[in-house]
């Protein structure tokens, strides 16, 4: 039995960063940028108005006030997307809308509220009263103030979030080079399993692991390839496994413990190499990892990493978070492979009798700037609803007998960051 750290190191040692591919911009969300991005345009491209108002010369506003407005002649109106053909000369102004390019001759924009426009009856304003002095440059967004032509806007290795996708769009990039997403084959094993679109015969259960595991694959940016269900026979398992050998990683669930029909390990041994088959953790002790003999698109031999997750629904999800997720993130070129962890005050005791590292489903709350954590209830690894209740996994180290109420413990957060209502 190896430690969680050793197991993770072995898994990560067997996966490589994937190739670069060009992808449509919107699909790149969450992927890692493969090139530095250098802008070949200024953004904004031209000086433009930051407010609706009048473009004018600041000198024309000297001495202007509510009591003694400066009257300027309005010679044009310019809206966003258009360019005025007129030039602002002393004594004149051009009515301007937010985003419209600042006309020739103007050095400032005064907002409507600082003019007497609202008091004027005629909708076609020929003259405007300026009610205050303005500083030169007021309400003008300078060309290139966001992005200057030639600047490196985003660096290779950046994870694309909505803001970066927006920045790339502002440069007019409809496609972007990123590290491609891993395809992860998902295979369930067990004679008891029935597909969710079929009636449920007595003695059978629905195959839920395929859906929790494939959802995790999607959530962390991969592309699940659902292989279906293999029955507990070597022939069925081999047949299905082979369908997953073109994937970047193969994940099976079930069939890795010591039961009579648990044959994933045997098949893994005959079709590839087993790296480990038990890990000092609970849930998740029977966790197999190895590589299967596969082939790339050109038929060249390649090793396909295979994670044999335990069949219990909670165990398969917890072991996915701890091993499959970092493997996927490494393949996608990400640097931070660990999930967010916090320290929290444990509100009830947890006993550890096994000498394994416990991952306890728990509910994290925050009060007075301090995280608190209590258990979801029964911790059986078949109780999948405990994962649904949980927003954290309390870690109880393998070399302790547990933790008391009031102890500070480490908790892995399972939530969706800003969607967490901790
Ligand atoms: P195993 O690891 O194959 O011995 O399975 C352990 C437990 O998990 C058994 O109770 C199985 O019925 C259950 N199980 C295995 N695979 C699945 C699955 N795909 N969906 C739901 N439960 C499963
Ligand atoms: Mg089984």
Rounded to the nearest whole angstrom, what is the distance from the C-alpha of residue 28 to the centroid of ligand 2? 37
Identify whether the C-beta of residue 316 lies closer than 8 Å to the C-beta of residue 213: yes
Rounded to the nearest whole angstrom, what is the distance from the C-alpha of residue 330 to the centroid of ligand 2? 29
Which residue's CA is the nearest one to ligand 1's atom 5? 311
Res 124: pLDDT: 66
Helix or strand or coil: residue 72?
A: strand
Average pLDDT over residues 156-165: 98
Percent of the residues in the chain that have a pLDDT greater than 70, as a whole number? 98
Average pLDDT over residues 217-222: 98
Q: How many CB atoms lie within 10 A of CB 163?
A: 8
- Distance, in Å, from the CA atom of 110 to the CA atom of 128, rounded to the nearest integer, reads 11
Identify whether the C-beta of residue 303 lies closer than 8 Å to the C-beta of residue 292: yes
- Distance, in Å, from the CA atom of 160 to the CA atom of 94, rounded to the nearest integer, reads 41
Find, among 222, 221, 248, the residue nearest to 29 by Cα: 221
Decide: 208 in ligand 1 pocket, CB within 6 A.
yes
Find, among 217, 203, 179, 165, the residue nearest to 321 by Cα: 217
Res 295: pLDDT: 81
pLDDT tens, residue by residue, 341-377: 999 999 999 999 989 999 999 999 999 999 999 999 9
pLDDT tens, residue by residue, 194-211: 999 999 999 999 999 999
Phi–psi pair at 8, nearest 5 degrees: -65, -40
State yes or no: pLDDT of 107 exceeds 80: yes
- Distance, in Å, from the CA atom of 141 to the CA atom of 350, rounded to the nearest integer, reads 59
Res 421: pLDDT: 75
Q: What are the residues whose beta carbons fall under 8 Å from the beta carbon of 130, sequence distance 6 or more?
A: 54, 56, 60, 61, 64, 69, 70, 71, 72, 93, 110, 114, 115
Which residue's CA is the nearest one to ligand 1's atom 15? 311
Res 417: pLDDT: 73
Give rounded-to-5 percent helix, strand, coil for the chain.
Answer: 20, 35, 45
Residues with Cβ–ion distance below 5 A, ligand 2: 190, 254-255, 311
Average pLDDT over residues 28-49: 98
- Distance, in Å, from the CA atom of 151 to the CA atom of 39, rounded to the nearest integer, reads 6
Helix or strand or coil: residue 324?
A: helix
Helix or strand or coil: residue 239?
A: helix
- Distance, in Å, from the CA atom of 325 to the CA atom of 302, rounded to the nearest integer, reads 21
Q: 167: burial class by Cβ within 10 Å (0-12, 13-18, 19+)?
A: buried
- Distance, in Å, from the CA atom of 201 to the CA atom of 390, rounded to the nearest integer, reads 31
């Amino acid at each position: 039995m190896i430690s969680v750290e050793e197991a993770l190191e072995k898994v990560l040692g067997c996966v490589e960063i994937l190739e670069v591919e060009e992808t449509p911009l919107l699909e790149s969300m969450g992927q890692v940028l493969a090139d530095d991005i250098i802008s070949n345009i200024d953004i904004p491209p031209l000086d433009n108005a930051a407010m609706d108002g009048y473009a004018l010369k600041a000198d024309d506003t000297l001495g202007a006030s509510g009591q003694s407005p400066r009257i300027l002649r309005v010679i044009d109106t310019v809206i966003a997307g258009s360019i005025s053909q007129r030039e602002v000369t002393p004594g004149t102004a051009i009515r301007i809308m937010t985003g419209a390019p600042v006309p020739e001759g103007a050095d400032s924009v005064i907002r409507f509220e600082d003019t007497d426009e609202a008091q004027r009856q005629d909708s076609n304003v020929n003259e405007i009263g300026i009610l205050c002095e303005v500083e030169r440059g007021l309400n003008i967004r300078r060309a290139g103030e966001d992005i200057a032509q030639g600047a490196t806007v985003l660096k290779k290795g950046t994870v694309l979030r909505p803001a970066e996708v927006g920045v790339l769009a502002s440069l007019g990039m409809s496609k972007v080079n990123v590290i491609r997403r891993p395809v992860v084959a998902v295979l369930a094993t067990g004679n008891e399993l029935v597909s969710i679109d079929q009636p449920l015969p007595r003695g059978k259960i629905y195959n839920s692991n395929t859906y929790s595991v494939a959802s995790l694959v999607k959530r962390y940016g991969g592309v699940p390839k659902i292989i279906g269900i293999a029955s507990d026979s070597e022939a069925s398992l081999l047949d299905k496994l082979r369908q997953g050998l073109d994937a970047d990683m193969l994940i099976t669930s079930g069939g890795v413990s010591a039961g009579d029909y648990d044959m994933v390990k045997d098949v893994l041994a005959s079709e590839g190499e087993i790296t480990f088959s038990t890990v000092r953790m609970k849930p998740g002790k029977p966790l197999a990892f190895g590589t299967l003999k596969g082939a790339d698109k050109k038929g060249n031999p390649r090793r396909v990493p295979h994670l044999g997750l335990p069949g219990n629904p909670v165990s398969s999800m917890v072991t996915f978070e701890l091993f499959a997720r970092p493997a996927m993130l490494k393949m996608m070129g990400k640097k931070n492979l660990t999930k967010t962890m916090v320290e929290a005050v444990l509100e009830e005791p947890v006993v550890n009798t096994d000498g394994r590292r416990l991952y306890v489903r728990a509910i994290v709350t925050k009060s007075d700037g301090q995280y608190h954590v209590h258990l979801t209830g029964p911790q059986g690894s078949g109780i999948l609803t405990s994962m649904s209740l949980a927003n954290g996994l309390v870690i109880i180290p393998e070399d302790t007998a547990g933790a008391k109420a009031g102890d500070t413990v480490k908790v892995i957060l399972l939530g969706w960051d800003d969607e967490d209502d901790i």
